[in-house]
Amino acid sequence: MYDPKKLATFDPILTGFSLGYQPQERIGEILFPVTEVGTQSGSYFIFDRSNWLIYPDRREPGTEPNMIQGRKWSTDVFNVKEHALEAEVVDEEREEVGSASSALVPSDINPEADAIEDVTGALLLRHEKLVADTVRNVANYAAGHTATLSGSAKWSDYGQSATAPYPFNSNPIQNIRDANLQIYRDTGRYPNLMWFSFDAWQALIYHPSFVARWAGIQAMPPQDAFKQLSGFNGRVVIGESVYNAAQNVDLAESITSLWGKDAGMAIVEPLSGQRTKTWGKTFVRPYNGIRRPVFRWRVDSHFKDMFAVKYRYDCKIVSNVAGYLFVGASA
């Protein structure tokens, strides 16, 4: 994990300071809650709206009641794949961290713990990317459940319009209200979660249509102003996660947002259960009850210990009418 030669080069003046980047909040398992399964692959039911039929139910004396039709459903399949990574801790780095000459090494450097944390973080970042790629694919939504915002329609366009029926070029309140109602029309339930990329969120909360409505009341509108104005009443999460698209620690960094400039809303049921209405799921097959077990083994010939973490899952959209996607909400 660490170069033993570098562990002995800490400047004593700076031993209380080290520079690092903490991982941003990951929202993959919030958007696609975990459902544990006992097999690698299997089917699950998708119930339709056939039980919304209205049947003639008037009965005359001495006659049999009319019989309703049985419900219809379809099936889809999950197929969990194993994801695993490993890291090494060589004897020299452990020895250097614990030696007297390295007394000034920051106390929070723990090669074993850091190896496990880095491997687990990398696995979760991959899961986050798989969820983001699935969520941001317009092909995964039903007709009428996506809106591509282009040009002046982007929420980051704060210009005023002289001809449109709205005072500003972009109208995020109407966009969100339309999506909210579209999901309700197709499911009979309002969405309870809305997600934003970092850029889309920043464009939204500072939109002048919000600021103007709160003028004279407070300097800036509350962050849930869009809820009060659009009719959305649910949880908000911000996708801040980024990754290094260079895919090599020795190349120049190419930091890329996993969530781009997009936003969306959905019905998300965090609990597992039959006939629940939810947008997407992460089907996870645990290892003897443990979702992400840690393995450790010794490689004597190389004088090091190895640490590995495994994770088996499949990310699926299970109801394409339970979500809505705004493509390119911000410039």
- Predicted confidence (pLDDT) per residue in 113-151, tens digit: 999 999 999 999 999 999 999 999 999 999 999 999 999
Residue 129 lies in a domain: yes
Q: What's the average model confidence in pLDDT over 215-241?
A: 83
Comparison of pLDDT for 306 and 277, the residue scoring more: 306
Core vs surface per residue 164-175: b (16+ CB within 10 A) or e? eeeebbbbbbeb
Residue 53 lies in a domain: no
Containing structural domain, residue 313:
4-10+21-48+74-327
State residue 93's pLDDT score: 86
Q: Is the pLDDT of residue 217 over 50?
A: yes
Residue 69 lies in a domain: no
Residue 89 lies in a domain: yes
Q: What is the CATH number of the domain that holds 107?
A: 3.90.1690.10
Q: pLDDT grade, residue 12 (50/70/90)?
A: very low
In this structure, which amino acid lies at residue 277?
K
Number of separate domains in the chain: 1
Output the CA–CA distances (angstroms, integers) from residue 76 to 35, 46, 63, 70, 275, in the order listed: 15, 7, 41, 20, 14
Q: What's the average model confidence in pLDDT over 313-327?
A: 94
Q: Is the pLDDT of residue 30 over 90?
A: yes
Q: pLDDT grade, residue 23 (50/70/90)?
A: low
Output the CA–CA distances (angstroms, integers) from residue 236 to 127, 169, 257, in the order listed: 20, 25, 18
Residue 54 lies in a domain: no
Q: What's the average model confidence in pLDDT over 271-284?
A: 78
Q: pLDDT grade, residue 6 (50/70/90)?
A: very low
Q: Is the pLDDT of residue 165 over 80?
A: no
State residue 216's pLDDT score: 66
